[in-house]
Structure 1
């Protein structure tokens, strides 16, 4: 499994707190843009779905959602949302070809070791339909660091991410940057990129 076990333990222990903190995710402007860009009857993957707020918003919009997370407590919460199919899986367990019109990888791949990122992106691109939309949100910076509550983070610059997406066969498009307080209480800069297969 390419997600650090200590990171999974932290999310399991803080699942309820994280669910409360991300309650407003369904109103996320990037999620609205993502949903609006998908065709009618679309199928999407919510990678690292957490408590399932985003997946639930997609389902309400008529999208068939596959939601995965490596933390059982998160999967249980995601499964409770109407229209969401959720199961426990790591990034290494993604399979299939040309399944999804869109992939929502919102602040999930940042917990995978940097050495594994090209491999993960290659599998995700394979599962994306030609021309499909790939959303990625990541914290920006350099290196791999464990935060104050024990989660392992892999940080990237915006240029570095653009290069990785292009190398994986995606065409990066719009990007946005900002800063937000995380589960550890610290402010962190981030980047969101929309790319197409």
Structure 2
């Protein structure tokens, strides 16, 4: 994770420029529309804060978190929002969030650690809370051309992880896009609800 964070610290400005947009994309718009009024949302791996700002603009409170110090600084500099530096191992709390936006962030976690991270998110989420998760698809794990660590998942594998943590997937989208490293990669987005009975630890 250290090498990955070094890349994001060094590339925070480039990342902010590459992925800036003035309105939510269709996936974020869908997520926002499904939230209860005045929801409390965790933006896990918020990057420079574009999604956090758009969620806040829709009337919700946002906990913007990222492992990169430079990304956290960018959130306040670009959007005037508070943000905090936090690693996946530092996810805490119980029954806090109405929604969790984990858009292409957890793909940096080693495969063996994904179950504990999803269990922590399930504990932090309120029953019935909405989770959005975006991942690159494929198999294996390892560094990309920039040195960032990635874990790749199939749809079945990611679905199994979510259901084991107590989330019930109800929407998916797939596609291919060019990322910061310059490669065009396939991806998968799943949105899920935490079961009313909570997590299945």
Q: TM-score, normalised by structure 1?
A: 0.96
Say if 1:104 and 1:136, in contact at 8 Å, map to a contact too.
yes
Match of 1:181 among 168, 178, 181: 178
Residue 164 (structure 1) aligned with residue 150 (structure 2):
no
Q: Using a 3 Å threshold, how does the CA distance of structure 1 residues 49 and 166 change in structure 2: closer, same or farther?
A: same
In 2, Cα distance between equivalents of 1:98 and 1:25: 31
Residue 33 (structure 1) aligned with residue 4 (structure 2):
no
Say if 1:26 and 1:54, in contact at 8 Å, map to a contact too.
no
Aligned to 2:127: 130
- SS of the residue 1:179 aligns to: strand
Q: What is the number of residues matched between the two proteins?
A: 193
Structure 1 segments, 4+ long, off by >6 Å, are none
Say if 1:162 and 1:172, in contact at 8 Å, map to a contact too.
yes
User: Which deviations, in whole Å up to 9, do the C-alpha atoms of 1:111-143 show, x marking residues without a partner?
Assistant: 000000000000001111100100000000001
Residue 192 (structure 1) aligned with residue 186 (structure 2):
no
Matches within 5 A, 1:10-159: 10-24=7-21, 26-80=23-77, 81-82=79-80, 84-159=81-156
Q: Using a 3 Å threshold, how does the CA distance of structure 1 residues 19 and 31 change in structure 2: closer, same or farther?
A: same
5+ residue gaps, structure 1, are: none
Say if 1:179 and 1:190, in contact at 8 Å, map to a contact too.
yes
- SS of the residue 1:193 aligns to: strand
Q: CA RMSD in A?
A: 1.0
- SS of the residue 1:40 aligns to: coil
Offset at residue 94 of structure 1 (A): 1.2
In 2, Cα distance between equivalents of 1:54 and 1:25: 10
In 1, Cα distance between equivalents of 2:98 and 2:76: 21
